Amino acid sequence: MAEQMIYIDGKLLPKSEAHVSVFDHGFLYGDGVFEGIRAYNSVIFKLDEHLERLYASAKTLMLEVPLTRDQMREAIISTLKANGLRDAYIRLIVTRGVGDLGLDPRKCPKSSVIIIAGTISLMAKETVERGIKTLITWVRRDPIDGTSHEVKSMNYLNSILAKIEANNFGVDEAIFLNHQGYVCEGTAENVFIVKRGRLITPPTYTGALAGITQQAVIEVASRAGIPVEVRPMSASEVFNADEVFFTGTAAEIIPVTMVNGRTIGDGKPGKTTLKLRGMFMEYALDPSNGTRY
Q: In this predicted model, what pLDDT tens digit does every residue of 164-197 receive, in sequence order?
A: 999 999 999 999 999 999 999 999 999 999 999 9
Which residues have CB under 8 Å from 277's CB, separation 6+?
A: 252, 253, 255
Confidence band, pLDDT 50/70/90 cuts, at residue 269: very high
Residues 198 and 251 in one domain: yes
Report how far residue 246's alpha carbon sits from residue 60's, in angstroms, rounded to the nearest whole number: 26
Q: Average pLDDT, whole number, for the chain?
A: 96
pLDDT of residue 146: 85
Report how far residue 119's alpha carbon sits from residue 201's, in angstroms, rounded to the nearest whole number: 28
Domain containing residue 142: 125-284
pLDDT of residue 128: 82
Report how far residue 58's alpha carbon sits from residue 96's, in angstroms, rounded to the nearest whole number: 10
Q: What angle do CA 96, 100, 101 make, to 5 degrees?
A: 105
pTM (2 d.p.): 0.95
Residues 130 and 271 in one domain: yes
Q: In this predicted model, what pLDDT tens digit does every residue of 51-88 receive, in sequence order?
A: 999 999 999 999 999 999 999 999 999 999 999 999 99
pLDDT of residue 73: 98
Domain boundary among 88, 118, 148: 118
Residues 133 and 227 in one domain: yes
The burial of 102, by beta-carbon neighbours within 10 Å (0-12 exposed, 13-18 middle, 19 or more buried), is given as exposed
Report how far residue 79's alpha carbon sits from residue 121's, in angstroms, rounded to the nearest whole number: 20
Residues 58 and 176 in one domain: no
Confidence band, pLDDT 50/70/90 cuts, at residue 127: confident
Residue 1 has pLDDT above 80, yes or no: no
pLDDT of residue 98: 98
Domain boundary among 118, 143, 170: 118
pLDDT of residue 208: 93
pLDDT of residue 125: 80
pLDDT of residue 33: 98
Q: Which amino acid is at 41?
A: N
Instruction: Tell whether 51 is covered by a domain.
Output: yes
Q: Which amino acid is at 70?
A: D
Q: What average pLDDT score do residues 219-236 get?
A: 97
Radius of gyration of the chain from its Cα atoms, rounded to whole angstroms: 19
pLDDT of residue 246: 98
Report how far residue 176's alpha carbon sits from residue 135's, in angstroms, rounded to the nearest whole number: 9
Domain boundary among 118, 151, 178: 118
Q: Which amino acid is at 170?
A: G
Instruction: Tell whether 289 is covered by a domain.
Output: no
Q: From residue 236, give the alpha-carbon distance in Å to each of 203, 233, 264.
A: 17, 8, 12
Residues 93 and 169 in one domain: no
The burial of 1, by beta-carbon neighbours within 10 Å (0-12 exposed, 13-18 middle, 19 or more buried), is given as exposed
Q: What percent of the chain has pLDDT over 70?
A: 100
Q: What CATH number does residue 56 fall under?
A: 3.30.470.10
The total domain count for the chain is 2
Length of the chain: 293
Residues 96 and 175 in one domain: no
Residues 44 and 164 in one domain: no
DSSP 65-114: -SS-HHHHHHHHHHHHHHTT-SSEEEEEEEE--B--SS--GGG--S-EEE
Instruction: Tell whether 85 is covered by a domain.
Output: yes
Residues 148 and 271 in one domain: yes
